[in-house]
Amino acid sequence: MATIRTINTEGFHDTIYIKGQNRNLDIGLRVDIDATETVNIKHLVVENTFIPLIKSGDGRLNIEQIQLKDFGGDGINIWGNNVHIGKLVVRNNTPTRPYDSVR
């Protein structure tokens, strides 16, 4: 899988727009931050990816508004904690791989 953008240092980002090339393989944004750091994103838009957002590490991720569109896997994978999202908009999420429910 190819990651389109990575953030691994703290900071403020006004608007981030990501459009993937392969809805079955691309990862839109990967945020990996240490426990003492904070990443603030005002507006995040991710389109045409398999997984739009992966967050790892124990640092704080604040997103005022996030829009996920046309993705083929999970919308957000959180491998840690400390994620705060003000407004979440999801559109046209359809699996690109078979999913089986556990019964």
From first to last of the 103 residues of the chain, give the pLDDT tens digit. 799 999 999 999 999 999 999 999 999 999 999 999 999 999 999 999 999 999 999 999 999 999 999 999 889 999 988 999 999 999 988 887 776 656 5
Strand partners for 18: 46
- Distances in Å between the Cα of 57 and the Cα atoms of 14, 50, 74, 80 are 22, 21, 19, 5
Cβ neighbours for 103, distance < 8 A, ≥ 6 positions apart: none
Strand partners for 30: 6, 54
Read off the tokens for 84. Answer: 């705060």
pTM: 0.90
Read off the tokens for 15. Answer: 């608007």
